[in-house]
Structure 1
Amino acid sequence: MTADFADLLVIFDLDGTLVDTAPDLLGALNHVLAEEGLPPVALDEVRHMMGHGAAALLAHGHLAAGRTWHAQDQSHCVERLIGHYRENIAVESGLFPGAAAVLYELERRGARFAICTNKPTHLARLLLTELGIAARFAAIVGSDLGQPRKPDPRHLLHTIESVAHHAGPTVMIGDSLNDVEAARGCGIPCIAMRFGYLDRPVEELGADAIVESYDRLIDAIVELLGDMNVSGATMGIA
Structure 2
Amino acid sequence: MTTRDLDGWTVAFDLDGTLVETHEDLVGTLNRMLVLHGLPEAPMESAAELIGGGARALLRHGFERAGANWDEAGAPALFKDFLADYVEHIADHSRPFPGVVETLERLAARGAILCVATNKRTDLSELLLEKLDLTRHFAAIVGPDKVSACKPSGAHLIEAVRLVGGDPAKALMVGDAAPDTGAARNAGMPCVVCTFGYSPIPPADLGGDVLIDAFDDLEAALDRLIAARAT
> If the TM-score is normalised by the length of the shorter chain, which range does it land in?
over 0.9
Does the 8 Å CA contact 1:7/1:168 hold for their aligned counterparts? no
Deviations 1:170-208 (A, max 9, x none): 110001111111111111100100111011111111111
Percent of counterpart pairs with the same letter? 38
1-structure distance, mates of 2:194, 2:114: 17
Q: Which moved more, 1:69-78 or 1:9-18?
A: 69-78
Q: Which residue in the other structure is 2:38 paired with?
A: 37
**Aligned to 1:114, what secondary structure does the other structure show?**
strand
Q: Which residue in the other structure is 1:24 paired with?
A: 25
Structure 2 unmatched ranges of 5 or more: none
Q: 1:195 to 1:167 in 2, by over 3 A?
A: closer
CA shift, 1:44, in A, is: 1.8
Amino acid at match of 1:109: R
Amino acid at match of 2:191: C
Q: Which residue in the other structure is 1:99 paired with?
A: 100
Q: 1:229 to 1:62 in 2, by over 3 A?
A: closer
CA shift, 1:43, in A, is: 1.5
CA shift, 1:154, in A, is: 0.8
Aligned length: 230
Deviations 1:28-69 (A, max 9, x none): 111111111111111222111102122322223322332211
**Aligned to 2:52, what secondary structure does the other structure show?**
coil
| 1:108 counterpart = 2:117 | no
> What is the aligned-residue RMSD (CA, Å)?
2.1
1-structure distance, mates of 2:226, 2:66: 48
Does the 8 Å CA contact 2:13/2:173 hold for their aligned counterparts? yes
CA shift, 1:229, in A, is: 6.6
Amino acid at match of 2:136: A
- The residue correspondences of 1:214-229 to structure 2 (distance < 5 A) are 214-227=215-228
2-structure distance, mates of 1:64, 1:184: 32
Q: 1:146 to 1:223 in 2, by over 3 A?
A: closer
1-structure distance, mates of 2:167, 2:204: 31
Give the number of the structure whose residues are more often helix, by fraction. Answer: 2
Q: Which residue in the other structure is 2:118 paired with?
A: 117
TM-score normalised to the size of structure 1? 0.90
| 1:201 counterpart = 2:212 | no
Structure 1 unmatched ranges of 5 or more: 231-238
